[in-house]
């Protein structure tokens, strides 16, 4: 069973032809009911991960779309520096889901709260401003 877990971990890292070859090799090696059940759990887990990632991407696309209109006149550098204490690049990477260190990066729920606070705070400041 340890070899199966190692092979499954290796399989998870592969794609395309390399994945198909490894899967075919494993199909010949692991034939017991217990091993097949473990492979089915592995596949189900993979589908769960994909579903979770797709939900995350959908949420981030919504965030990006929601910000599209205001991004034309709201200074994201100001928000990044004054509310997140990060660079504009950091904020942009998370808004657009860019890959950083091999993983796509998104706004966390806490980051979304901070962004919502920033937008509301700026709206309040603009709303109370009058020029004499």
pLDDT in tens, 2-16: 799 899 999 888 889
pLDDT value, residue 117: 97
- pLDDT at 60 exceeding the cut of 90: no
- pLDDT at 82 exceeding the cut of 90: yes
What gap in Å lies between CA 1 and CA 6, rounded to an integer?
9
- pLDDT at 70 exceeding the cut of 90: no
pLDDT value, residue 123: 93
pLDDT value, residue 93: 92
pLDDT value, residue 38: 92
> Mean pLDDT over residues 16-28, rounded?
90
pTM for this structure? 0.59
- pLDDT at 72 exceeding the cut of 90: no
């Amino acid at each position: 069973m340890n070899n199966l877990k190692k092979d499954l971990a290796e399989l998870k890292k592969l794609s395309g032809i390399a994945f198909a070859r490894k899967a075919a090799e494993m199909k010949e090696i692991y034939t017991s009911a217990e091993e097949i059940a473990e492979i089915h759990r592995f596949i189900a887990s993979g589908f769960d991960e994909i579903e979770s990632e797709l939900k995350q991407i959908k949420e981030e696309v919504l965030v990006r779309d929601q910000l599209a209109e205001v991004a034309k006149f709201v200074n994201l550098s100001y928000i990044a520096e004054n509310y997140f204490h990060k660079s504009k690049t950091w904020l942009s990477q998370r808004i657009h889901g860019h890959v950083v260190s091999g993983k796509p990066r998104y706004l966390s729920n806490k980051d979304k709260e901070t962004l919502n606070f920033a937008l509301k705070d700026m709206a309040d400041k603009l709303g109370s401003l009058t020029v004499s």
